Structure 1
């Protein structure tokens, strides 16, 4: 994922409650590729970019299960 996609992904992750932290792949190059990571108990970072992107895509495809129909 490129830097220009980070803001939209961050907003979607927060909206749908998807955990993870967005970080640049190379800390010295914030304009380059970014990854989604989770921090483990031992301080180790695990790359969960593919899982986060799939979770956001699935959440966007879901339709509401309940709602109201208001006649015109």
Structure 2
């Protein structure tokens, strides 16, 4: 995940209540690769788990539309 994706992932994490902290892999290069770390220890990389949780939460969201009874 690069710096361009961070804002969208951060927004989705907050919207769906998914915990984690986004940090750059290289603190001296915020435009480079980023990862998600667990809040509990700050070292455990949970990027894959968070991306999967966000994707699952987006699939569960209801679509807009009308229900017309028969």
Q: What TM-score do the two structures reach when normalised by structure 1?
A: 0.81
Secondary structure at 1:45 match in 2: coil
Q: Secondary structure at the match of 2:37?
A: strand
- Where do 4+ consecutive residues of structure 1 move more than 3 Å? 68-71
TM (normalized to structure 2)? 0.83
Q: How many residues align?
A: 66
Q: Tell me the alpha carbon deviations over residues 33-68 of structure 1, each in whole angstroms, 9 at most, x when there is no partner.
A: 00000133xx4511000000000000000144xxx8
**Runs of 5+ unmatched residues, structure 2:** none
The reply on whether 1:61 has 2:59 as its aligned counterpart is: yes
Unaligned residue ranges in structure 1 (runs of 5+): none
- Residue 15 of structure 1 is matched in structure 2 by 15
